[in-house]
């Protein structure tokens, strides 16, 4: 049985590929749990990432443990991504990895086995592995579909440190927030209070905030996708802006 995705296949990468020890460990994890065939780390196809080329068994979840969300979904490592292409990739993967496929496969193997004794052990394993891998694909899609969570995740990949390492209960430290941004946020929140539930005024404030969010996303994309060298400070500041505007967006939605 051969499985294919309709999208192109950019090289998937391991965020820790620069570490030789991690590379070695990754190669060991790519050995098939069923037939023990060692996969080729240079194989860029999506099929090879999730299935053994020799016996067609689904890969062990440990084999993809260190793969980035981008690599799991087979999309480029950028902030500005094609949302429709990413959704299509996710849906194709979920069809390819759906546990029901392995239930029928296991039943077929069991019915054709000689002696009539017991179920198909590999089928049970494949169902278990497919459920775990499908959950990881869903997690990756959930993280990357939201611009703010995608920005924070990408920051971690680029910098090697989680963006929220210095956050407490979702609040950035005051030292990281430009005074002009704090003043703007205070003014907007005062305007929200003054609106006193007036839907028309709240919609106007929501539109203004959406414009600020688009500009903040543009700056985030510039920091990650356009600069020749990753500027951690620039990216962090852009994410801080987007974080505050996202909070305002949620607050406005709650009041409408």
Looking at 112, 145, 178, which one is the last position of a domain? Answer: 145
| Residues 27 and 141 placed together within one structural domain of the fold | yes
The CATH code of the domain that includes 38 is 1.10.287.110
Flag whether 7 is in a domain: no
pLDDT in tens, the chain (256 residues): 434 343 333 333 344 443 443 343 344 447 888 888 887 655 556 777 898 888 889 999 998 888 899 999 999 999 999 999 999 999 999 999 998 888 756 555 544 444 443 345 677 889 999 999 999 999 999 999 999 999 999 999 998 876 654 444 444 444 478 899 999 999 999 999 999 999 999 999 999 999 999 999 999 999 999 878 889 999 999 999 999 999 999 999 999 8
| Residues 27 and 130 placed together within one structural domain of the fold | yes
| Residues 69 and 125 placed together within one structural domain of the fold | yes
Q: Which residue range forms the structural domain that includes residue 115?
A: 20-145
Flag whether 25 is in a domain: yes
| Residues 139 and 186 placed together within one structural domain of the fold | no
Q: Per the structure, how many domains does the chain have? A: 2
Distance CA 178, CA 180 (A): 5
Distance CA 249, CA 205 (A): 9
């Amino acid at each position: 049985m051969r499985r294919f995705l309709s999208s192109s296949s950019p090289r998937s990468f391991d965020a820790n590929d620069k570490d030789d020890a991690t590379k070695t460990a990754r190669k060991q994890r790519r050995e098939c749990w069923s037939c023990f065939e060692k996969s080729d780390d240079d194989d860029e196809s999506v099929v090879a990432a999730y299935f053994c080329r020799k016996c067609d068994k689904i890969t062990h979840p440990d084999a993809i443990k260190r793969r980035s969300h981008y690599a799991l979904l087979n999309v480029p490592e950028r902030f500005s991504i094609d949302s429709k292409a990413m959704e299509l990739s996710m849906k194709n993967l979920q069809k390819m990895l759906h546990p029901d496929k392995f239930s029928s496969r296991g039943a077929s193997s069991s019915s054709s086995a000689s002696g009539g004794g017991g179920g198909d052990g590999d089928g049970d394993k494949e169902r278990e592995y497919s459920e775990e891998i499908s959950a990881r694909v869903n997690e990756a899609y959930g993280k990357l579909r939201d611009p703010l969570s995608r920005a924070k995740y990408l920051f971690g990949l680029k910098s090697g440190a989680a963006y929220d390492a210095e956050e407490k209960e979702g609040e950035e430290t005051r030292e990281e927030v430009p005074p002009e941004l704090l003043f703007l946020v205070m003014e907007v929140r005062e305007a929200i209070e003054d609106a006193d539930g007036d839907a028309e005024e709240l919609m106007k404030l929501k539109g203004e905030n959406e414009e600020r969010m688009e500009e903040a996303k543009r700056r985030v994309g510039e920091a990650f996708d356009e600069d020749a060298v990753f500027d951690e400070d620039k990216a962090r500041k852009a994410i801080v802006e987007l974080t505050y505007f996202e909070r305002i967006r949620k607050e406005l939605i709650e009041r409408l």
